[in-house]
């Protein structure tokens, strides 16, 4: 499916407040899309992966980054820019903040999706409406009703439910790596870092999917719209309003006046 058509469908059926974002892993610097900003070169400082996505969805910027542009040590490991050192794998980053013990922290780090160094490359994020290349993964931020709308669209033809996992941390890996490794779309509860560094708001969730599923999603959005599943959600308005006694007394006076005439 054409990227611009996908973007148009999302805006038509879901009406997100921020741009839908494409994510692509590019192996060689020479293959980076034109007009992409490099954090160290163009901003003068490293950023997090979630900041890159937020720049793309809020500012409309295209961001290309590798380990030299990345400030988050967890993402350095997850995206294959740095090796899994024992200090990390033993759970020290999670223990005391997210987990009670090193053993629990170790389980948390094991559960973070990870690229191997061979799978790694430049992480590129950009708004779909300005895409010059097809993405590997698409992520859409919205409120819970908008994410529900996307879930309904993706399940229109396949049925069933969407399996997702939630951990309160490292959502950048769940957004980009997990759909590529599992082939399944993901419902995302933004992590603490996404809220702290990328200013994701309390009302926001996200939905990410492999780009190869774009045509299925758009067909599902159209089908569910026809079936009555829409956004904004149509509130139930077919009821009779009730008024205070003084209002009712005035209405009765109107009725008595009509009877007298």
Kindly give, in sequence order, each residue whose CB lies less than 8 Å from that of residue 46, ignoring residues fewer than 6 positions away.
39, 40, 68, 69, 70, 71
Run means of pLDDT, 10 residues per run, the chain, 261 residues = 96 98 97 96 98 98 98 98 97 97 97 96 97 96 98 98 94 97 97 97 98 98 97 89 95 88 71
User: In the chain, which ranges are E strands?
Assistant: 21-26, 63-65, 122-127, 137-142, 186-188, 205-210
| Nearest in space to 184 (alpha carbons), one of 144, 212, 226, 205 | 212
pLDDT at 130: 92
Which residue's entry shows tokens 């009555």? Answer: 228
Structure tokens at 9: 């469908």
pLDDT at 54: 98
pLDDT at 235: 85
pLDDT at 238: 85
Which residue's entry shows tokens 């990870």? Answer: 114
Q: Quote the CA–CA distance of 82 and 93 in Å, as a whole number.
A: 15
Express each pLDDT in 79-98 by its tens digit.
Answer: 999 999 999 999 999 999 99
pLDDT at 260: 79
The region, left, alpha or beta by phi > 0 then psi within -120 to 50, assigned to residue 152 is: alpha
Whether the model clears a pTM of 0.85, i.e. scores above it, the answer is yes
């Amino acid at each position: 499916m054409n990227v611009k058509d996908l973007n148009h469908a999302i805006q038509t059926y879901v009406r997100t407040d921020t741009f839908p974002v494409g994510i692509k892993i590019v192996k060689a610097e020479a293959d980076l899309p034109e007009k992409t900003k490099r954090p160290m070169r163009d901003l003068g400082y490293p950023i997090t992966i979630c900041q890159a996505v937020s720049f793309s969805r809020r500012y409309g910027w295209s961001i290309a980054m590798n380990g030299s542009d990345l400030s988050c040590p967890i993402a350095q490991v997850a995206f294959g820019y740095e090796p899994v050192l024992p200090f990390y794998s033993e759970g020290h980053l999670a223990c005391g903040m997210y987990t009670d013990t090193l053993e629990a922290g170790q389980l948390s780090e094991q559960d973070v999706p990870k690229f191997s160094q061979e799978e790694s490359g430049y992480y590129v994020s950009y708004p779909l409406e300005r895409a010059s290349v097809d993405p590997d993964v698409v992520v859409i931020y919205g409120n819970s009703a908008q994410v529900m709308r996307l879930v309904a669209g993706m399940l229109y033809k396949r049925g069933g439910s969407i399996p997702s996992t939630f951990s309160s941390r490292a959502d950048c890996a769940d957004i980009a790596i997990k759909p590529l490794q599992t082939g399944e779309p993901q419902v995302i509860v933004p992590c603490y870092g996404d809220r702290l560094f990328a200013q994701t708001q309390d009302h926001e969730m996200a939905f990410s999917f492999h780009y190869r599923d774009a045509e299925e999603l758009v067909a599902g959005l159209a089908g569910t719209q026809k079936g009555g599943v829409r956004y904004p959600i149509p509130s139930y308005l077919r009821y009779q309003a009730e008024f205070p006694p003084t209002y009712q007394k005035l209405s009765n006076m109107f009725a008595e006046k009509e009877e007298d005439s």
